[in-house]
Amino acid sequence: MDIGSAKMIGAGLAAIGVGLAALGVGNVFGSFLSSALRNPSAADSQQGRLFIGFAAAELLGLIAFVVAILILFVVKG
Amino acid sequence: MAAEAGAIDPMGQFRVNPILGADWSIAGHNIAFTNSAAFMVIVLVAMWVFMLGGMKRQLVPGRWQAAAEIMPDFVASMIESNIGPKGKRFTPYVFSLFMFILLANVIGLFPLAIIPGVHAFTVTSHITVTGILAIMSFSIVLIVGFLKHGFHFFSLFIPHGTPVVLIPLIFLIELVSFMVRPFSLGLRLFVAMTAGHILLDVFASFVIQGINSGTVIGPIVSLLSFVMIIGVSALEILVALIQAYVFALLTSLYLNDAINLH
């Protein structure tokens, strides 16, 4: 298999990791929403932690995206 | 990647070009004024105009003053709730960081491409810029931590109540996760901005190629892609705000680790 095709297949596989990040971020916000609807008065105090959790989950998905970009644009061939 | 007919080049929008000529240099180092520098100046001017316009100090604030007061109040309350009263001295730094990243992210989304030959450049879409911001935050954390606590700073890596047998392993794990912080901080902002703009560029290429294709279904694809651009732009504004907030929030949290140690 020549390097060009291998790059395309590798980038496509790395992009699957970004879909997994979508699951993770949805999990964070979904948990926040379902518990916020049970206890609305306590929801605003936890908003900071919500965004910290979102940032952590998003980062790992963005790392998968960076791997795809590295394979496509940085590998020689 | 060569641009054949029908190929899309989403990365060209991030190219840093010298405007006003490429031959300026001091002592062998090129100091040409680039589009990145031009947009940093635009961010600075926008920040100054917004904040200075709101500093009238009327007792009953007008609209501009009320809007400009939201920003420092927001940052001050974030620092108060994350660090406590010892964090007040870092408010100017975190405020500057937050406003710069916020305005840089949002100005990169302006539709300046309506003017032929001009396109909005997102300053924070380069790892050089976000990496330096992350290194600044991390350096401040390290300097504050070591000045305040000396070698006791390393007790940050050993939580209370760990069994003595596990201390070497836990110390290594905590040390690695601490050293990853500047990379993750800079990378998060950089990739969020870059990915958003690549997405917008790809949909915009669909619009252009659909209209130029000459088939029947081409304009339909263009119309759907245009609707997607509107939706993704709204999402990108939200991501710009959230990423600026997350950068400032994590900087406050890391400062809390350094100042209050546990």
Neighboring chain B residues of A74 at a CB cutoff of 8 Å: none
Instruction: Kindly provide the ipTM of the predicted complex, given to two decimals.
Output: 0.84
pLDDT, averaged across chain A:
91
Neighboring chain B residues of A51 at a CB cutoff of 8 Å: 242, 245-246, 249
Q: Is the pLDDT of residue A55 over 60?
A: yes
CB-based contact, A29 to chain B, within 8 Å: no
User: Contact B249/A73, CB-based, under 8 Å?
Assistant: no
pLDDT digits (tens, 9 = 90+) for B97-142: 999 999 999 999 998 888 988 889 999 999 999 999 999 999 999 9
Q: Is the pLDDT of residue B8 over 90?
A: no
Instruction: Give the minimum alpha-carbon distance from A77 to chain B in angstroms, rounded to a whole number.
Output: 10
Confidence (pLDDT) at B1: 40
In chain A, % helix, strand, coil (3-state, to 5) comes to 90, 0, 10
pLDDT digits (tens, 9 = 90+) for B160-217: 888 889 889 999 999 999 999 999 999 999 999 999 999 999 999 999 999 988 888 9
Q: Is the pLDDT of residue A38 over 90?
A: yes
Q: Read off the pLDDT of each residue in B67-90 and give the average, rounded to a whole number.
A: 93
**What residue ranges do the domains of chain B occupy?**
12-260
Could you tell me if B104 and B40 are in contact, meaning their C-beta atoms sit under 8 angstroms apart? yes
Query: What residues have CB less than 8 Å from B19, skipping those under 6 apart?
Result: B33, B34, B35, B38
Confidence (pLDDT) at B59: 83
B24 against B174, higher pLDDT: B174
Neighboring chain B residues of A55 at a CB cutoff of 8 Å: 188, 246, 249-250
CA distance B129 to B14: 13
Is the CATH number of domain A3-73 1.10.10.60? no
Which of B148, B122, B158, B164 has the alpha carbon at shortest distance from B36?
Answer: B122
B window 221-250, beta carbon within 8 A of A: 242, 245-246, 249-250
Q: How confident is the model at residue B158 (pLDDT cuts 50, 70, 90)?
A: confident
User: How many C-beta atoms lie closer than 10 Å to residue B224's C-beta?
Assistant: 14
CB-based contact, A50 to chain B, within 8 Å: no
